[in-house]
Amino acid sequence: MTGDASIADRRITVGILRYRPEQDEAPVVQSYEIPYVDDMSVLQALQYIKDHIDGTLSFRWSCRMAICGSCGMMINGKPQLACQTILRAGNQLPLRIEPLLHFPIERDLVVTVSDFVSKIESISPFIIPKYPRTLAEGEYLQTPTELTRFENFSDCINCMLCYAACPQFGENPDFLGPGALALLQRYNGDSRDGGQAERMKLVHTENGAWSCTAVGYCSEVCPKHVDPANAVNQNKTNSALDFFLRFLPGRGTIERSA
């Protein structure tokens, strides 16, 4: 597809929700007609528009191979990565592209990510050692089984599709959300980590695990099979058990990754 528009004798209409704060009161749909080949991705369609039709169109992208997490947007009503969505694959035409749901729009398809970044930072996203270790003690040893317990949660590329999918985040923007809670479980479930009690304090709150109603759509849209729904809901179990068992003497916070 790249560059050679003359090859394509088919054309499609792409409707994009535009928003330019300096001139628009509210977002408005703008349509573009572009040449079309079967194996075009939505990202390539956007790049064609920006390169040949309308240079003012703004959107985030980088790797174009579903690993950087930049190009998340609503494509025909579903949160998807633009680079990974191929036009041939059953998408209805005309194509309708909107910025990720539930986030404030900065411009066109670019949404505000600072709130999400704060949430990621708030869950202590680093190994908190169980006890002080010296370099002389050498590396941590971890079995494949121990790795399997949290590995999928570490695959998150911070694309925020799960937040666009989550209706409870849409209702309550203070909800920590699937991505942050998946990252939380990535650390709580890591055998090297000793910071479960600290992170569970966030889980126990109304904006922690308890805003989730197990819709499960977050895990469906995740391009990396992180399964954030599992991260959140297994922490409901942890949090609920801890709610009652915390009064037992000598009991720390329950973390059932083992």
Partner 1 sequence: MRRPYLRPIDRHWWAKPPYLAYTLREATGIAIAAYALVLMAGVICLALGRSAYDAWLGFIASPLSLALHVIFLVAMVFHVWTWFAIMPKTMPRLIVGGRYVEPQLITRAGIAVAALASLGLLLVARWVLP
Partner 2 sequence: MKRSISPIFWLMFGAGGMLAALFGPALVIITGLAVPTGLGFSPTSMDYAHAIGFARHPLGKLVLLVVISLFAWHGAERIYLTLKDMHLGPKHLLAWLSYGSAGAVTFMTATALLAIGL
Give contact residues for partner 2 (rule: CB under 8 A): 167, 171, 201-202, 204-206, 208, 210, 213, 236, 239-240, 243-244
The residues, any chain, with a CB within 8 Å of residue 155's CB and separated by 6 or more, are 224, 225, 226
According to DSSP, the residues that pair with 129 across neighbouring strands are 193
Question: What is the per-residue burial (b if ≥16 Cβ within 10 Å, else e) of 50-68?
Answer: eeeeeeebbbbbeebebeb
Q: 230 contacts which partner out of partner 1, partner 2, none, CB within 5 to 8 A by kind?
A: partner 1
Q: 205 contacts which partner out of partner 1, partner 2, none, CB within 5 to 8 A by kind?
A: partner 2
Q: Which is nearer to partner 1, 85 or 219 (CB)?
A: 219
Q: Which is nearer to partner 1, 40 or 119 (CB)?
A: 119
Q: Could you list the residues that contact partner 1 (CB under 8 A)?
A: 19, 21-22, 26-27, 101-106, 112, 144-145, 148-149, 152, 167, 170-171, 189, 213-217, 219-220, 227, 229-230, 233-234, 236-237, 256-257
**CB 241 → partner 2: shortest distance, Å?**
8
Neighbours of 76 (CB within 10 A): 17
Q: How far apart are CA 176 and CA 236, in angstroms?
A: 13
**CB 157 → partner 2: shortest distance, Å?**
28
Q: 170 contacts which partner out of partner 1, partner 2, none, CB within 5 to 8 A by kind?
A: partner 1
**CB 105 → partner 2: shortest distance, Å?**
23
Q: How far apart are CA 179 and CA 215, in angstroms?
A: 15
Q: 201 contacts which partner out of partner 1, partner 2, none, CB within 5 to 8 A by kind?
A: partner 2
State the greatest distance between any 2 C-alpha atoms of the chain, in Å, as a whole number. Answer: 76
The residues, any chain, with a CB within 8 Å of residue 102's CB and separated by 6 or more, are 163, 164, 166, 169, 170, 173
**CB 228 → partner 2: shortest distance, Å?**
18
**CB 244 → partner 2: shortest distance, Å?**
7
145 by DSSP, 3-state: which? helix
